């Protein structure tokens, strides 16, 4: 069976940074991703990033994907397996990889799992009509393949993803009829909301989709207002003539591999759902399995990169690799991560992480 020192599952922001950090320590790395190019969600993020210089603030996601990928491409220590899907985790620590309709096995000494997240669905009549999309699919169509999803869109969800994708729809020449948000306030950054508001897009807070209409595809959508108890208020219906409804109603960690590996999981709503208990180095209850990025708790790509760096450094060190700047680099990544999460917008994540670490201490995953 083929072996490697560290297998990184997922070549998104977290996985690429884990691979880079582990490689920098001198570890042999195999990075596996189901996509046809490295970068994960970064390849469709045409907007400039927030954060500080360490997280490439001010650079566009699409460019960060390239900068990160260039650091490992053609490196003899790193094997990048694209269009390859990890389909199983076996008791002996081997993983099964499907590529070109063939199954191969790889036995790594360490695994950094950075599989990201999947999008949440919303229940309403006709949510299965063609024309109802997840925001990720809309972004892929537009920003990766140059295809407009429709002519007029109703966006559901005013978190950062809903706001950013609305802006990118406008950039692609698509009309955005409105953004509806069930919460009484916009969840995403105020500056993202302002970008689309000044382009004329109304944001309807305390509103949700009542139903989508159409025979073969989406022809319109009805929204209605929500009361203080989140119950819809009859008589407040508004109709929008749109051919596309885009759902940006949250993400949930894509944790199948961790369940299969028998990692202790906990349901932490603030982190998006079930996440693995893990220590400060991002090692889970199953020794030698690490996590990073949205899989470890839904946050931004900037924090995913730092988590990847921490997990990559820690996994490589656990194999005996070392570099003179190890301590400095680990401390810097931890400090940058704390700074990113330090503001009022990081409050929910901080609360979720407190809970996760407390649960981890209770069962001995965290010392």
Partner 1 sequence: MRDKPCQESRTHGRIPGAERRARGPCVVMECFEDIPCDPCHDACRQGAIRPFDDLNHLPEVDFDKCNGCGACISVCPGLAIFVVDETWKDDLAVVRLPYEFLPLPAPGDVVAGLDRSGRRCCTAKVIRVEKTKRHDRTAVVWIEVPKALSMEVRHIRVGGSARGLHEG
Instruction: Calculate the alpha carbon distances from 205 to 19, 66, 179, 208 in Å.
Output: 41, 37, 8, 8
The 327-346 contact track toward partner 1, x by CB under 8 A, reads ------------xxxxxxxx
Nearer to partner 1, 99 or 351 (CB): 351
Strand bridging mode 95-99 / 273-276? unpaired
Distance of alpha carbon 196 from alpha carbon 151, whole angstroms: 17
- Write out the two tokens for 65: 């994907």
With binding defined as CB under 8 A, does residue 225 bind partner 1? no
Sign of the alpha-carbon torsion through 51, 55, 58, 59: negative
Q: Mind giving me the DSSP string for 171-221?
A: HTT-EEEEEEESSSS--S-HHHHHHHHTTT--EEETEEEEEEE-SSS--EE
Q: Which among 55-63, 106-114, 205-213, 359-367 is the span making contact with partner 1, rule CB under 8 A?
A: 55-63
Task: Report 62-91 residues binding partner 1 (CB under 8 A).
Answer: none
With binding defined as CB under 8 A, does residue 196 bind partner 1? yes
Q: Residue from 2, 48, 239, 361 that binds partner 1 (CB under 8 A)?
A: 48
CB of 22 to partner 1, least distance (A): 26
CB of 202 to partner 1, least distance (A): 5
Nearer to partner 1, 58 or 227 (CB): 58
Task: Report 228-257 residues binding partner 1 (CB under 8 A).
Answer: 240
Q: Residue from 36, 74, 76, 198 that binds partner 1 (CB under 8 A)?
A: 198
With contacts defined by CB under 8 A, how many residues of the chain interact with partner 1?
A: 45
With binding defined as CB under 8 A, does residue 190 bind partner 1? yes
Nearer to partner 1, 70 or 347 (CB): 347
- Write out the two tokens for 291: 């996590």
CB of 154 to partner 1, least distance (A): 10
With binding defined as CB under 8 A, does residue 261 bind partner 1? no
Q: Which among 3-11, 132-140, 185-193, 316-324 is the span making contact with partner 1, rule CB under 8 A?
A: 185-193
With binding defined as CB under 8 A, does residue 192 bind partner 1? yes
CB 265 within 8 A of CB 291: no
CB of 192 to partner 1, least distance (A): 7
Distance of alpha carbon 306 from alpha carbon 292, whole angstroms: 9
Extract long-range pairs of 66-73: CB within 8 Å, 24+ residues apart: 66/39, 68/13, 68/16, 68/17, 68/20, 68/38, 68/39, 68/42, 68/305, 69/11, 69/16, 69/37, 69/38, 69/39, 71/16, 71/20, 72/16, 72/19, 72/20, 72/23, 72/29, 72/31, 73/38
Binding site for partner 1 (CB under 8 A): 47-53, 57-60, 152, 169-178, 189-192, 194-202, 240, 302, 339-346
């Amino acid at each position: 069976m083929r072996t490697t020192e560290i297998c990184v599952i997922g070549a998104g922001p977290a996985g690429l940074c884990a691979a880079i950090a582990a490689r920098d320590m001198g570890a042999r790395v195999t990075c596996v991703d189901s996509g046809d190019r490295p970068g994960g969600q970064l390849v469709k993020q045409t907007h400039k990033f927030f954060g500080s210089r360490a997280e490439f603030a001010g650079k566009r996601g699409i460019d960060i994907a390239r900068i990160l990928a260039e650091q490992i491409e053609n490196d003899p220590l790193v094997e990048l397996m694209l269009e390859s899907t990890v389909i199983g985790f076996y008791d002996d620590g081997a993983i099964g990889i499907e590529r070109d309709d063939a199954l191969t096995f790889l036995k790594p000494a360490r695994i950094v799992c950075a599989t990201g997240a999947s999008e949440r669905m919303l229940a309403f009549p006709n949510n299965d009509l063609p024309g109802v999309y997840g925001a990720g699919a809309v972004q892929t169509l537009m920003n990766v393949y140059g295809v407009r999803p429709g002519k007029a869109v109703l966006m559901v969800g005013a978190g950062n993803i809903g706001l950013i994708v609305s802006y990118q729809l406008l950039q692609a020449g698509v009309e955005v009829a409105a953004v509806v948000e069930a919460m009484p306030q916009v969840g995403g950054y105020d500056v993202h909301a302002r970008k689309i508001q000044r382009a004329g897009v109304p944001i309807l807070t305390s509103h949700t989709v009542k139903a989508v209409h159409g025979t073969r595809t989406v022809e319109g959508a009805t929204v209605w207002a929500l009361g203080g108890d989140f119950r819809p208020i009859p008589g407040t219906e508004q109709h929008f003539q749109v051919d596309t409804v885009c759902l940006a109603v949250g993400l949930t960690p894509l944790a199948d591999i961790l369940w299969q590996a028998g990692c202790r999981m906990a349901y932490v709503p603030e982190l998006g759902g079930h996440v693995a208990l893990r220590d400060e180095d991002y090692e889970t209850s199953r020794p030698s399995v690490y996590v990073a990025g949205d899989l470890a708790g839904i946050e931004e790509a900037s924090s995913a990169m730092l988590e990847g760096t921490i997990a990559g450094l820690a996994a490589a060190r656990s194999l005996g690799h070392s570099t003179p700047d190890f301590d400095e680099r680990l401390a810097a990544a931890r400090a940058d991560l704390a700074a990113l999460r330090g503001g009022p917008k990081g409050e929910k994540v901080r609360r979720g992480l407190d809970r996760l670490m407390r649960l981890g201490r209770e069962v001995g995953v965290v010392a």
